[in-house]
Structure 1
């Protein structure tokens, strides 16, 4: 690698959530939504693609804007482009599938699924049309949301859908308030909803003709409504991959913070739940629960991909105390001989191929966990409560990015560093009056304490440390009466 790869792996001012990674030629391309730093709603930017050589996942470059929201014919009514996906058609061209939405997700669930086309993976896409029936009418069965495109040896499939609270049609029919909410959300009449025999909710699939627009037959659910996945039922974010002749359906569950997967021998039916791949609060791993999640949690969306013989899961984390400023992250995963994937923890070094070098300075915002022991779950809002978070501040000297609102009891984790001859740790801090206790395990002895005096300017505060050479996490636990901000962590 030319350099080290951190999480988030794109530049610190870039917010590309809902990432779908694909390899075209000798590069991996990341297609996703485009949030703004400190944004006030979802997906405020035009589609912007980043790519990296398959043999150097530290070397991401911006390919520029590939498609603008104003190119969509419905731009005057719905101005935001939600999670897209791209696929190479049988004609060799590249097709981008997406859905438009209004502010805060309103109007994003009733389609149509739109299509743009380009001769290159990351060139300038042009609007082509919408997914439609042979007579030209828009295909709007179920809830047109979060489309995924999949070329299965020449067969083109589109996966999509969402799940509204898992209500049966007969329950909706008996509850006017719930029915009214579903009608508004999906822009369907009462009769249309009740006439959908297999429910308007759930993950759906439809096969396309080679024109990449016209459907072959009717859409169908790939998982029948009501199938028990043990609390990990489908919510949104459909993604499909083929692994060793098996089909892996990756999705965001009803828990909303985790990417799960189900497996089948077929691309359109008989999927069985297998487990969780990653949670953006590490919920479900190492005894962590919703009550002690290791980050603020919220929406997640992503997929898995094999790059140079190593499998990865791409997902996103939340910043700025909201769902509206999400950043792309990735972790190495292992697909066992029996086809299962063990849940992985969030790290600071996901694409790095190993631990980060334990010397030099690192931006504080690459922390893999930030918690005060009572972190919230995001819910389409910007929180006003005070809790530690990744944020930014514009100054006369430029933009500062840091972990803010670090209060008494805050724990910040970095996983992992490889240390050799470490003698000093330096933190660049402002605010405070308190101290950071530094350790290399959650329950182990501290390796040093760094005192933080109250100060309005950034200070480099150091302490001598002696630890054995090896690979360790670094935990910073703050104790103090005043809130601190952390900009950088450095090792000498």
Structure 2
């Protein structure tokens, strides 16, 4: 008898790297539109767009729909030149029933639009967002820099584009050299053709320079805006200058006024229950919220492979309270699953939602690689290899990997697969820094080894794996 597949984080196959995910439900299927990182890449968004979808009633089984769009299709990519990177996109169904893909090529500061008869593509170049006189949005004197488009079609058919990129001044010399015009998060109403500006851009969320003394002071707008509607309210999801969290602001109409709501998710759980240090390696975050069969979720991404350039999509259940607020949720390994993960299954180590050294974790920063003392999630094959196996590498003395959560019963057997360059012990606990549930002795081996023990844990439990000893331990997976 075949076991029913469970949903885990990341929700796509472990060899796939689709961050910046914008989830949408069309005709009973969930589609995710994101950028496309390259495993082992040296920059963001090196691959062309692909599309994945799942039935709304089966979020454990995602279907690869193929390449949906290539950057060389855009006229802004000079003919014969090197392909430009496709940054974070969004898709909406227009009034004509077609599907419109909004995106920006690298740091060109313009918003492009492609169109398809199908939500999976392939998309064909359509136009650039422009003013009625033909001037491209972002090219007019005084226009703010255009970036990270989010597209929203209201119940009355009116179309709104949100856009913006407002890095902290001085954080990157590259941005200073570009002389970016930054104003905050912009909202632009478009005509029915999905590309002509109907109402001039207005600023709906403040950037850091304008946030002091406002309710956004601690969480000013950085990038990644996404506009959604729920229960008669408009939610503007965005990434703040904290650079690890997705925040939200709420208004009673698309144009605002927006009021700061809070953090929905941090990819290091910062801010959750007063936490000030990350439980995982942090970095850029981008995503949105979506209702699927009556349950709301937030889609976001995590970092892997010791750099910020191999990001993967994750998702968590969220709750929209009657007052419109969304409590922050923790990062988990079970994500879209209908409850905790079950015993009787094998789990790859790469579904770890927490990872840290004995001294904690930290941020992944552009153009840097974390030090050799840090554990990380990686894979044993090249980018695009569907047979590549993901695992946790380089657990050194006191480092741990955490998994949330599992439904266990006393007497559950745990089999762990690992290899190690030194000798020590692998400790299993049900809480971060909690009492030990199992301890396995570890000896050096350059091949994968297994160890088995019995857990006496009952109910919904986390599992934390901590290595203590010499050398470094790689964790391939475990079976419950």
Alignment of 1:284-363 (within 5 A): 284-289=271-276, 292-363=277-348
Q: Is 1:86 aligned with 2:91? A: yes
The corresponding residue for 2:367 is 381
Question: Matches of 1:400 and 1:242 in 2, distance apart?
Answer: 39
Cα deviation per residue 1:369-407 (whole Å; 9 max; x = unaligned)?
011133221221241512011012239996332101111
Counterpart for residue 409 of structure 1 = 398
Equivalent-residue separation in structure 2 for 1:166 and 1:269 (angstroms): 26
What does residue range 79-228 of structure 1 map to in structure 2 within 5 Å? Answer: 79-101=84-106, 108=107, 110-140=108-138, 141-153=143-155, 154-165=157-168, 182=176, 184-186=178-180, 200-224=182-206, 226-227=210-211, 228=214
Counterpart in the other structure of 1:170: none
TM-score under structure 2 normalisation? 0.92
CA distance in 2, matches of 1:319, 1:138: 37
What is the CA distance between 1:424 and its match in structure 2? 2.5
* Distance apart, 1:166 and its partner CA: 5.9
8 A Cα contact 1:416 1:471, kept in partner: yes
Quick one: distance in 2 between partners of 1:398 and 1:166? 43
- Whether contact under 8 Å (1:234, 1:253) holds in the other structure is yes
Deviation at 1:135?
Answer: 1.2
For residues 427 and 402 of structure 2, what CA distance do their matches in structure 1 show? 12
Query: 1:77 & 1:363 partners in 2: Cα distance?
Result: 37
**Contact 1:78–1:100 under 8 Å retained in 2:** no
Distance 1:119 1:394, change over 3 A: closer
1:166–1:201: 8 Å Cα contact kept in structure 2? Answer: no
Determine helix, strand or coil for the equivalent of 2:205: coil
Partner of 2:59: 57
Give the secondary-structure state (helix, strand or coil) at the position aligned to 1:100. coil
Residue 115 of structure 1 and its aligned partner are, at CA, apart by 0.4
In the other structure, the counterpart of 1:190 is none
Q: Are positions 1:420 and 2:423 aligned together? A: no
Matched residue of 2:451: which SS? strand
Q: Distance in 1 between matches of 2:223 and 2:76?
A: 23
Structure 1: runs of 5+ lacking an equivalent? 102-107, 168-176, 187-192, 194-199
> Which aligned runs of 4 or more in structure 1 are off by greater than 4 angstroms?
177-181, 395-398
SS at match of 1:365: helix
Indicate the residue corresponding to 1:490 in structure 2.
479
**Distance change >3 Å, CA 430–CA 185, structure 1 → 2:** farther
Q: Residue 183 of structure 1: CA displacement?
A: 5.5
Please, what is the CA RMSD of the aligned residues?
Answer: 2.1
For 1:33, the equivalent position in structure 2 comes to 35
* Residue deviations 1:158-183 (CA, integer Å, cap 9, x gap): 1000113269xxxxxxxxx9999545
CA shift at 1:435, angstroms?
A: 1.1
Return the offset for 1:214: 0.8
SS of equivalent to 1:283: coil
State the SS of the aligned residue for 1:417.
Answer: strand
Q: Deviations over 1:437-480 (max 9, x none)?
A: 1111234321110111011100012223323x311111111111
- Range with bigger deviation, 61-70 or 419-428: 419-428
Aligned to 1:196: none
Asked whether the 8 Å contact 2:59–2:337 carries over to 1, the reply is: yes
Change (3 A) 1:183 1:23: same
Equivalent residue runs for 1:248-267 within 5 Å? 248-267=235-254
**In 2, distance between residues paired with 1:407 and 1:180?**
35
Instruction: Structure 2: state its 5+ residue gaps.
Output: none
Contact 1:406/1:478, CA 8 A, preserved across alignment: yes
Q: CA offsets per residue over residues 191-219 of structure 1, 9 Å max, x none?
A: xx5xxxxxx33100111111111101311
